[in-house]
Structure 1
Amino acid sequence: MKYISRGKAGYMVRKRANGRLYQSFFGDSACGGKSAAKKAAIAYRDRFLFFLSDQKLPSRRFKNVRNRTGVVGVAWYPPLEEEGEDSREHVMRARVTNENNPQRLTTRSWAVRRYGLWGAYSRAVDWRYREVNGGRAVPTEEIAASWDIFLDHYKEMLSNHDGRFPALMGALDFLIDESDAPDWAKQAAERVRSHARHSGHLGVERSLLREADRKRL
């Protein structure tokens, strides 16, 4: 089946468009069996292909041009460098086609400042999934797979150690230490936090070594 592959526990839909890889997982258990998962994957693929071919998106350009949330129609807008730790712009945004006007989009946003990183992400993904799947909640297997994709991009942005680093790390700290996120989501986030802290220490050590070399010269 084009753009659909079978795994051990379900079907994965993958499609690369405009240089980005889009994918979504349909588990047997979540869909009610292998046959139902296959039908759901096919239906999703067909809707997505229609979205790519016929969707007319607004002309407005957003700050985040690399959507790496792992979910079609859900975008991450990280904090602005100049705002530092107290960022108000850190949001997750989901969008779907407006049923009454196919050339327009219905959009909702969830601020990390208000809902926390997991709260904003899970709400955006679940709302988007319900809108395109007749009100069904997003399966755990699917949001877990997309969460890993999102965290890969999160880790990449943390590695820049720019002005957004305090806000990004603060959101991770709250998620891991204080939020009611599921354990598997916290464990994945903890791996990202540990990597960021380790790379941060290495960055400081390299800076000190370069400074020492300059003084010797």
Structure 2
Amino acid sequence: MSHVEIHRSHRVGWLRAAVLGANDGIVSTASLIIGVAAASTTHESIILAGVAGLVAGAMSMAAGEYISVSSQSDTEQADLALEQASLDQNPEFETQELAEIYEGRGVEPALARQVVEQLMAHDALDAHARDEIGISVNGGAQPIQAALSSAATFTIGAALPLLVAWMVPMDYLIILVALFSLVFLATLGVVAARVGGASMLVGASRVVFWGGLAMALTAGVGKVFGVVA
């Protein structure tokens, strides 16, 4: 019977982006709604502020992810170009350098040399990129994909407290938006932890704590400015 191991580390990239986007959407929009509501404004103004926060937040997430991932991609491409130039100019030096990396991991010198020569005959740049630089030639960052994913998950997260605020009576808006948002955050933490193979209790607790803190602080700010106004 073959032994199959299920690893979850390959999910880190997309899981991080999805959780970050949804978490930011819930926390920022719920906090904005609660802060505006605490300032004793109208229901229409609260919904308008929530919609504006959703649109601005989604665009900010998209722009931020695009710029960040583009910068990462530029750096990776520059490193690959530098490595390719070194392979063209000093192939023997690069061969020995990669062999020494394998030797440092416990491979015997003769075997390490043999492995390196075979890998470089197949794809020299990929071998050096993976084991010397720590990146993949074919697995580079995707700026547009990251931007769209972040914007989409932020929008979904932000729509949840906004929908609650739209449906509930003004008298109960703050408490219900806060409670439902904490439930949404706890669910997000549980799902993310489950997918990542971590503790669901820990995953839920940390997002609920920071989300609750953000909403409490913005409610306090809203109260202060509402009294001043």
TM-score (norm 1): 0.29
Higher RCO structure (Cα 8 Å, ≥6 apart):
2
Higher percent of residues as strand: 1
What is the TM-score when the length of structure 2 is the normalising length?
0.27
Structure number with the higher helix fraction is 2
